[in-house]
Structure 1
């Protein structure tokens, strides 16, 4: 099965010809069950939600900018822009790809406080992600959120999530 990318195919060859990367842009999502590495960068106050069904190796990655679509998320023209509507869209795509909602595990990354503003978008994104995942019955098994540093993630075919912070620190969730 080829990776799903709602705003077009952004599959690019990796250094190793046997593997591929699918770039997930801001306000976008992708699903893969064919061994592609899902990547996203520019996670400042944005939040990435990485979901995996370990039994089918089906993975999905959402890069959301804002906590809530405020209103009827089903009519949002770009649902992946928002944590709540984006998670719903990601769950639909994962189910279509063969993932079971009952087996999904989540990892959260991002939600930094990049600017000293009263809006506190980063922490609100993290809170919305946790609330939405809890409402869907999906456990958060690992997180790298908050602080004041941007991040890049690579969601590998084995279900691990490599997180590289802008300060050069890298860890695997």
Structure 2
């Protein structure tokens, strides 16, 4: 069993018996995709909902609107069938309390909405999620069975 670390604004894929791990999911969203037949999985650590119009996208793994597409491509390269993919998501917390109601400041909420919209457009069903609230998370995604362990700073760990 090999452990594959996924950093912030990064993604990676694994095959049978790999464990994909990402930590530091505050307002960021972790997206785990899994093809149970081939036991191929992928994990993305998404920071922002979309590429800003005024910026060049030098890191497609950073944004929901490009990271999911890139993750699908990487999984196909190693044999995943995208029609069989299922998803689990975590993160999207509101880490800071803002006095105003400016929705642009609610990055976590915007990230979750963007990820859900993109997965729906790709016809990928979400089987489990642990999103929102006000604390960070770590995801451990096991490609042998699709199990996803969510560890929290509050000690309320769960398996999706």
| TM-score under structure 1 length normalisation | 0.85
1:41-80 equivalence runs, <5 A: 41-71=23-53, 76-80=57-61
Partner of 1:88: 69
Distance in 2 (CA, whole Å) between partners of 1:112 and 1:139 is 21
Could you say what the CA RMSD is over the residues aligned between the two structures, in angstroms? 1.6
Partner deviation per Cα, 1:43-88 (whole Å, 9 max, x = no partner): 00000000000110000000010000145x9x62100111110011
Provide the secondary structure at the position in 1 that maps to 2:130: strand
Aligned length: 154
Considering Cα pairs closer than 8 Å and 6+ residues apart, tell me whether 1 or 2 has the greater RCO.
Answer: 2
Unmatched runs of 5 consecutive residues or more in structure 2:
none
Pair 1:163 & 2:144 matched:
no
Distance 2:121 2:51 in 1: 16
Which runs of structure 2 are paired with 1:138-157 in the superposition (5 Å)?
138-157=124-143
Cα distance in 1 for partners of 2:112, 2:140 equals 19
Which residue in 1 is equivalent to 2:20? Answer: 38
For residues 95-154 of structure 1, the C-alpha deviation after alignment (integer angstroms, 9 at most, x for no partner) is 111111110000010000001233100000000000000011101111000000100010
TM-score, with length taken from structure 2: 0.92
Q: What's the counterpart of residue 109 of structure 1?
A: 90
